[in-house]
Structure 1
Amino acid sequence: MLGAMLSCFSPEQRALLLRARVGIAGAGGLGSNAAMMLARSGIGCLVLIDGDTVDASNLNRQHFMPRHLGRPKVEALAEQLRELRPDMDVVTHHRWLDRENIAQFLPEAELWLEAMDDAAMKAMFVSAVLRAGKPVIGASGMGGFGSRAMERHIMRTSRSVAAVVGDFSSDVAQLPPLAPRVVQCAAMQADAALEWLLTGKLQPLL
């Protein structure tokens, strides 16, 4: 079954993806949807970190079902990933990230997706990943609905690179987080992850 799922990739690309270890900080609207997309794209290992549990309010945009209510998000997401890809290595940490513990998790993956809610934590996590010399893909602006264009910005440091996707204006604190734009943003994160893993580069969108 995995061979059929990955038939669009060359043997060399399949090998790269199956060797990849991608970390996702946050298993909510961005993280849960990006994780499922990366699983469908042949990523060999996902490291999931989130201290939250599934709530009914999450079901409008996060990759969970009513049967998952009350369960740790990382466990419910890992269950779905393994159902889709029994061969996949899924590492879960039911923990909240903070200034003191971020660094201990970073060696577990070669590439990180920032998929958290709090703006200060988002910035702190991206900075920590860059200091560790690893690439990171963040998100900013995905609230509400409508025609605001999604973009990808690139930030390079002397040690690594970051991509940030979103519309860079809509704050979910003021506008509701709804499935169409949240999933669109998650898809852009997953796409950027594939670009990095397969080409070693992150480029701005044309």
Structure 2
Amino acid sequence: MIKIGIAGCGGIGSNVAMNLVRAGLENFILVDFDKVEESNLNRQFFFKKQIGSYKALVLEENLKNINPNLNIDSFVEKIYEGNISNFFTNCDIIVEAFDKKEFKTLLIENYSNKYIVSANGIGGRELESVKTLTLKKLNIVGDFYSDISNYKTYSTKVMFIACIMANKILDILGGFPNEKF
């Protein structure tokens, strides 16, 4: 069975995971150290009653509300050089959904032998310049300029990019989410 790693369970990670579960994937590893905040609710797959809870744990709960038969391993940990090899070794595809460049780089460098689907440029509302760049096994989706430190995030663009990323994963799998590719 295909296993998907979700590195960061915020706006991109939570929405990619939701779309993949709805597409039929069933095996996930979720990693995030952060807690749900009220400001997250405009774009992340969480609910008001989950404010203050760890994102990785409540994302697992939300995904299992879609399909209770999922196989999910959730980790409430911050990824760094010393532990990054602990999480995604058994994954077929990894979703890179970090906010910070240094964590993006760390994941991509440590898992260059894996398919990685990443986001870059998810701020603002402008959708027309969103594109996908493919470099061997690395697929990057976004507009490549609207860093969230300089642009407000809106659900429309975050979800749009998350949908493209989920679709890219289905493309990698050949449209057959539960068969080994």
TM-score of the superposition, structure 2-length normalised? 0.93
Contact persistence 1:126–1:138 (CA under 8 A): no
Q: Which amino acid aligns with 2:147?
A: D
Taking the aligned partners of 1:60 and 1:44, their CA distance within structure 2 comes to 26
Tell me the amino acid that sits aligned with residue 139 of structure 1.
A
Cα distance change of structure 1 residues 58 and 155 upon mapping to structure 2, 3 Å threshold: same
Greater Cα radius of gyration, structure 1 or 2: 1
Q: Which amino acid counterpart does residue 187 of structure 1 have in structure 2?
A: C
Residue in structure 1 matched with residue 12 of structure 2 by the alignment: 30
CA distance in 2, matches of 1:189, 1:135: 12
TM-score by length of 1: 0.82
Q: Is the 8 A contact 1:24 1:46 kept in 2?
A: yes
Q: Which runs of 5+ in 1 are unaligned?
A: 1-18, 201-206
**Equivalents in 1 of 2:10, 2:144: separation in Å?**
19
Q: How many residues get paired?
A: 176
* Aligned-residue RMSD, C-alpha: 1.3
- Please state how far the C-alpha of 1:20 moved relative to its aligned partner: 1.1
Partner of residue 119, structure 2: 139
SS at 1:91's partner residue?
A: strand
Q: Distance in 1 between matches of 2:161 and 2:120?
A: 9
Within a 5 Å distance, the mapping from 1:109-128 to structure 2 comes to 109-128=91-110
Residues 150-169 of structure 1: matches in 2 within 5 Å?
Answer: 150-156=130-136, 161-169=137-145
Q: Please report how far the alpha carbon of residue 199 of structure 1 lies from its aligned counterpart in structure 2 after TM superposition.
A: 6.2
Query: Counterpart in 1 of 2:85?
Result: 103
- Superposed, 1:1-206 pairs within 5 Å as 19-130=1-112, 133-156=113-136, 161-198=137-174
Cα offset for 1:148? 3.9
Aligned counterpart, 2:179: none
- Indicate the structure whose relative CO is greater, using CA pairs within 8 Å and at least 6 residues apart: 2
